Amino acid sequence: MFENWGFLITEMVVLLVLAAILGLIVGWIVWGRRKAPTAAVGEVEVLRAELATCREAGTDQAAEIARLQDKVASLERSESGTSGPTVVPTREPDQPQAPIAAVKPATIDGPREGGADDLKQIKGIGPKLETLVNKLGFYHFDQIAAWTPAEVSWVDDNLEGFKGRVTRDGWVEQARVLADGGATAFSKKVKDGDVY
């Protein structure tokens, strides 16, 4: 029973040595590649230094702009013969505008003679939205082109599932072009059959 143990032990030792060598090679490949990020760390430091330099240059430029604005203001004062402290106009922060009271625009019961305009030529109006706009009583470009901001607010509020679409897509501006017989880039695509 123990006659071939020497051969088996030798075979196991050889296989363990081969496994160890294979493990070292795989480990060297895997861990050896981790040294590349250390090279990138140096590059990161260089980029951080460049960023700091750019920030300093930006600060210097802002100071130079302020100095030049003061110089221009003093030259303007000397030209007009007045002297006094430099008053730099400040821009008022954008304040939210009060909401516009919604007013329902004039509607019609159906399209005029000659049929309804193809409202799908207005970017933002697809087949479903065209049907909804028609149900609200709008069939022609000139109707949409005549909307006031208050009327736009009403339509935006009453587009079921499409609220805010009139303002967001600029329907009134597009409708003005189309009502005057012009064409927009989008309306050309619709006429060519590239849309819908």
More confident residue, 96 or 42: 42
Question: In angstroms, rounded to a whole number, what is the distance separating the alpha carbons of residues 130 and 60?
Answer: 56
Question: In angstroms, rounded to a whole number, what is the distance separating the alpha carbons of residues 66 and 129?
Answer: 52
- pLDDT confidence of residue 144: 94
Question: In angstroms, rounded to a whole number, what is the distance separating the alpha carbons of residues 164 and 103?
Answer: 15
Tell me the pLDDT tens digit for each residue of 149-163.
999 999 988 888 888
Class of the domain covering 119-191: mainly alpha
Question: CB of 83 within 8 A of CB of 77?
Answer: yes
What are the structural domain ranges in the chain?
5-80, 119-191
> pTM above the 0.75 mark?
no
Question: In angstroms, rounded to a whole number, what is the distance separating the alpha carbons of residues 144 and 169?
Answer: 13
Residue 72 pLDDT more than 80? yes
